[in-house]
Every structure is written in C-alpha cells, then in structure tokens.
Homo-oligomer: A and B are copies of this chain.
Amino acid sequence: MKPLRPALSAPAAERLPTSAEPDPTQWRRGFPPPGDRLIRIEDGALFRYPQLRWSFSHARELGPTKAVWRGDGAVAPLNSAGQGIGGLSFAGPDGAPLTLAQSLAQTHADGFVVLHRGRIVHESYAGEGAAHRPHIWMSLTKSLIGTIAATLIHDGALDEGAIVSHYVPELARGAYGDATLRQVLDMLIGVDYCEDYAEPDAQIWDYARAAGWLPRPPSYDGPQNLHAYLPGLRKKGEHGKAFDYKTVNTEVLGWVVKRATGQSLAELVSSSIWAPMGAEADGYFLIDSTGAELAGCGLASTLRDLARFGEMMRCEGEFNGRQIVPAAVVADIRRGADRGHFKAAGYSTLPGFSYRNMWWATHDARGTFLARGIHGQSLYIDPVAEVTIARFASFPLAANRHNDPLTFPAYRRIVDVLGS
C-alpha cells in the first residue's frame, strides 16, 4: 500500500482497479498503524476504495454515531436449515459457469445471508465482514425510512398530498417548496443536484461534506450540517414528471418524519422496527455535528438484522408474532409506481422497474422487490419463492450496474432452486 494523498473528493473514474487489492483486514493494524495503513475521515476514507473495504464494517470508528437500541425484549431467532447452496452454479456474464461462492468473492461480498421460509439456508462473511459487526447499509437505509414514512401516511400521521414545507417551513424557498410528500417518497423531484459517484464535482459530495462525513478543505465555508444544507438546494425542471434518484430526497423525507413525530430517526427505527422485530443487536446511524441522522445512507447493522427486516417485509409486515408494518404498506411497495416515470432514468440493468416508497419494484410475476445501496448492498425479496436475500458488500465501484450482471443471475438461480 502506498501512502495516500488527502482526498477531498471521490475517485474520478468508475473503472475496476487493475492492481492487486490490499488485504482489507490490514487497515489500521499496528500501534500506531504505519502511514500506509492509516484510514481516516480526513482522507475521505468512508467513500474511497480500497479503504471502504474496511470502512464499511467500521464506520463508527470514523465519526459520530447514534445507537438504534434493540430494546430489551427477546431476540427473534433465525434458525438454520443447513448450508447447502454455496456450490449452486449459474451462467456468469461471459457465459461460463460461476458458483455462488465465486460470485460472492468476485463482487466483494462482506456478508451474504439467504432465508427460505424464514430459515437460514446460507450465511457467510468475508473481508472485514463478521456476523456480530454492524456494516453500513448505504441506501438500503432509504427503504427503511421510506417504509416508516409510508406507515405514517397509512396511519394518518402524514399526508402524502401535502407539500413538504407544510411540515418543514425552512424548505419553502428551495427546491422542495412546491413538492408533495408523495413526490419525495417516489423520487419524482426536479432538483439541481447530481448523484453521480464517478464525478468529483457532483453535489453528492457537497452533501457528504455538509454532513461531516467527507473532509472539508481548509477554505470550506459551506453548510455545517444537513439541516443547513437542504434549504439551499434549488429546483431544476418539474416535480412529478420523472424518477430521478437523489439521496437528498430521503434527507428531506427524514426531516419531515422527525418534525411530524417529534422523534429522532434512531428513536423511530428503534421503537417501530428494531424492538418489535426482535433485532439481535443495536444498530447505529451516522450523524452530523448537530445529531441529525444521515437518512439517505447512514444506518449500520448486523447482516442478520438486515435479513430480519427483509423477512418482515416479505411476510407482509408480520414478523416475530406481530404486525410491524401494515400489510397495505408492503403491498403498495410491491405494486410499485409508474414504470413510465422510471424508464427515462435509463437503468440498463433494471428493465421495467419502478421506485415506490424508496424501494425498487421489479414488476415481475413473482412480486420481487428490492432495496439497493452503492457498492453492492442489497436486500432481495421474492414472495413467491419465500426467499429473502441480504447482502453487504464493498465492491470497488459505487454504481450497482457494475455488479448487477454478477449478482442478479445468482439471486435468480437461488430463488429458482429454493422456490421450485
């Protein structure tokens, strides 16, 4: 490993690295770690490959975090049904056969759990991934926050037709001044904000700097926290016309949810999901300097707790002996949104999909729906096959189109075998 130059932005190109990858377990080893094994927020380590192979399993060691308490109830057990699918094989991108184990290695999976009818049929970890160690969810967080918001709408605590500034007056003069909550939930927002992770000047990095999770240059005079950043976003185009994936939409949604409930996101996730589902461990949120959770990317948990959340969604909101999310909310997510709105976004690996309540609906015959996060985080739910797949990863490239050709065939083979 060579010493790192301080990096104030993300890598500029989405190319797979050509040199050998450092061992992810060697970062921060040593007392002190030698200069080439340091890993610091000052270096942008949370978003930078190869450091992120370590950072995604150790985010709390880089900055401030807020616990998501599991509550004091019993853990909902996830029983094992034997481990037999690692040798499953399917056609890889070049047509040659690939086993599941090979696919996991090639896509830098840090952990992989498959539940069939609620029982674990596969559980494995690699790199810095470990069963007990919370891993960052990245944008899987959006789907959790979207589920909570949709539940609040279902329960009448939020009005999906209301404009955002009804709940958060500070947003009245910016991009969200005339956006409805429904448009935010389905990401039909016209805002001057670029989410391209391969672009060093994209606003996604302004967002990360404001939140305090990307280093600020010495001359930085931008917003100091999320609530200071969001009102400054400007409108571009029209709301309600097309799906356009932007993390700031979830930050706005999180702000609405906090204002409407008077609770922090960590408190809400704990009381409405984590405790009732019998999570096995506390999760945590990355927070900014004022304590605001990063609603769009900031949750971390164990993989089994991600799997529990997915299994609850597969089971129409029922898990651990109780109805945790209304069945109507799950049905709405599975049904998806207007595929015409989605099509223009041009996701080549997601044909015919739509985006609803911050989830990805496949519109396939099985009702499959997904949560997805950069660098390969994934929750894949197939109600017909009764399969839930939870996956943490630290793939070198952010955009999931790069790993979809390896991961989707694996998922389809798994549900074919288990569901038959």
| Chain A residues within CB distance 8 Å of chain B | 28, 31-33, 38-42, 60-67, 69, 72, 131-133, 225, 227-228, 255, 258-259, 264, 281-282, 284, 287, 289-292
Contacts and interface: CB of A to CB of B under 8 A. Distances in A.
A403 B382 CA distance: 60
Contact of A31 (B31, B258, B284): B258
Looking at A31, A72, A132, which has the most chain B CB atoms within 10 Å of its CB? A31
Nearest to A38: B290
Nearest to A33: B290
A32 to B, nearest CB: 4
A227 B259 contact: no
Contacts of A227: 31-32
A21 B131 CA distance: 44
Q: Give the oligomeric copy count.
A: 2
Contacts of A42: 289
Contact of A67 (B41, B60, B64, B292): B60
A278 to B, nearest CB: 15
Given A31-B227, A69-B132, A290 B40 contact: yes
Given A31-B255, A32-B290, A132-B69, A63 B61 contact: no
A65 B300 CA distance: 14
A168 B61 CA distance: 24
Given A290-B33, A291-B33, A61 B72 contact: no
Name which of A32, A227, A291 has the most chain B CB atoms within 10 A of its CB: A291
Report whether over half of chain A's contact residues are helix, strand or loop; otherwise say mixed: loop
A210 B60 CA distance: 19
A292 B131 CA distance: 24
A366 to B, nearest CB: 35
Q: Give the 9 A-B CB pairs with smallest separation, nearest first.
A: A32-B227, A31-B258, A28-B291, A32-B290, A40-B289, A61-B66, A61-B64, A63-B64, A62-B64
A291 B61 contact: yes
Given A32-B292, A255-B31, A282-B282, A64 B72 contact: no
Nearest to A266: B61
Of residues A40, A63, A131, which shows the largest number of chain B Cβ atoms within 10 Å of its Cβ?
A40
Nearest to A40: B289
A120 B227 CA distance: 44
